[in-house]
Amino acid sequence: MGLGGHQNNDDYICTLTEQEKKKALDELREDDNIREQSLQQVRDWISKHPNIKRCRTDAPFLLRFLRTKKFSVPQACEMLERYLTIRQLYPQWFRNLDCNDKELAEIIDAGYLVPLLERENGRLVLFSCAGKFDPHKYTSAHMVRVHSLVTEALMDDDTNQINGYTYINDESGFQMAHISLWSLTDVRNILRCIQNTTPMRHKANHFLNISSNAIKLIEFAVSLLNEKLKNRIFMYKCVEELYGKVDKKILPKEYGGEVPLAEMVTKFKAQLKEKRDSILALDDMYIEIDEKTCPLVSEMNEELGIGIDGSFKRLTVD
């Protein structure tokens, strides 16, 4: 077993359907040969990296990055390095993600964020309801931690890696109190973390029931995104407008679908319990962050507003 009890490097079992294999080849340039070669190159890079002391090297973990970056090994390595770095720079957002944590469990129980049971065009759909997050009881760090916990539970899945994710966000119930949780610096930092360090293919982002309170924050957030992500954001005044884009059958019953939201939450909680140990084991990974030599510090200083000086030296892969 590898770090944190994960499978060994050489026992990757391909569970893809023929349709997914074709999509992986067409969109990501992935075939058996490229996958094995790329995995070996990333493992070699990790073993030679002067700052990475402990890191998962099993295929499901490394394929998160390779598939997100369409098997560009240098780009996948750079994203992995960023991922390890931000986990340590922002422990309040990305570490100790325990589904048994009282506050995280309460937020998930409330139905704030849950994957839908049925996929949309093969993609997993993450459904969030702003009104189910109590801004008087919880902080912005709780909000980010819930998103981090949920996505970590999903990112090792082959189908999710290849097809990517759709997001549906119900903004009814969004209050000024939600806005007051966030500093502009935090909004900027978390969006840059999402864009540059999260190994997920973000395919479509739907916002429903946007209030005048929410629109300002969403517009500010969208302005910080790259063009590709900006073009994947869609806004609707009501859920009926969404039906033209997403089959309403897959939505929670409360939104015109067939399965109640609470039932979806119960099923997902069982999945979180199953993955609890492997998610907590992510904290075993360690990259040394030296202000003078960390290859990412100066770049992240500029991008994330972190007050550390340093120089960025790209690590090449043979």
Q: What is the pLDDT along the chain (318 residues), one digit of tens a residue?
A: 346 545 555 567 888 899 999 999 999 999 999 999 999 999 999 999 999 999 999 999 999 999 999 999 999 999 999 999 999 999 999 999 999 999 999 999 999 999 999 999 999 999 999 999 999 999 999 999 999 999 999 999 999 999 999 999 999 988 889 888 988 888 888 888 877 899 999 999 999 998 877 777 778 778 878 888 888 889 888 899 999 899 999 999 999 999 999 999 999 999 999 999 999 999 999 999 976 655 455 555 555 444 333 333 333 333
Q: Which long-range contacts (CB under 8 A, 24 or more apart) does 193-196 make?
A: 193/86, 193/90, 193/93, 193/304, 195/225, 195/226, 195/229, 196/79, 196/82, 196/303
Q: Give the CATH fold of the 3-93+288-304 domain.
A: Helicase, Ruva Protein; domain 3 (1.10.8)
The Cα angle at residue 198 between residues 123 and 203, in degrees rounded to 5 = 30
Q: What pLDDT, on a 0 to 100 scale, did the predictor assign at position 314?
A: 36
Helix (H, G, I), strand (E, B) or coil at 124: strand
Place of tokens 């969004």: 174
CA atoms within 13 A on the CB side of 83: 23
Tell me the C-alpha distance between 16 and 10, whole Å: 17
The C-alpha atoms of residue 271 and residue 264 are separated, in whole angstroms, by 11
User: C-alpha dihedral over 267, 273, 278, 282, to 10 degrees?
Assistant: 90
Phi–psi pair at 16, nearest 5 degrees: -75, 145
Amino acid in position 152? E
Locate 177 and state its tokens: 């109190």
Contact 55, 285 (CB under 8 A): yes
State the pLDDT at residue 179.
85
CB 41 within 8 A of CB 73: yes
- Residue 252 is given by DSSP the state B
Predicted TM-score (pTM) of the model is 0.88
The number of helices, as runs of H, and strands, as runs of E, in the chain is 15, 7
User: Structure tokens of 172?
Assistant: 């009814």
Helices (H), 16-71: 18-28, 32-48, 59-68
**Residues sharing a CB contact under 8 Å with residue 240, sequence separation 6 or more, in sequence order:** none
CATH topology of domain 97-277: Phosphatidylinositol Transfer Protein Sec14p (3.40.525)
Q: Could you state, in order of their start, the residue ranges of all structural domains in the chain?
A: 3-93+288-304, 97-277
The label of the residue with tokens 């993609």 reads 123
Bridge partners (DSSP) of residue 52 are: 287
> Residues, the chain, total?
318
The vertex-271 CA angle with 270 and 272, nearest 5°, equals 90
Quick one: which of 108, 100, 303, 49 has its CA closest to 197? Answer: 303
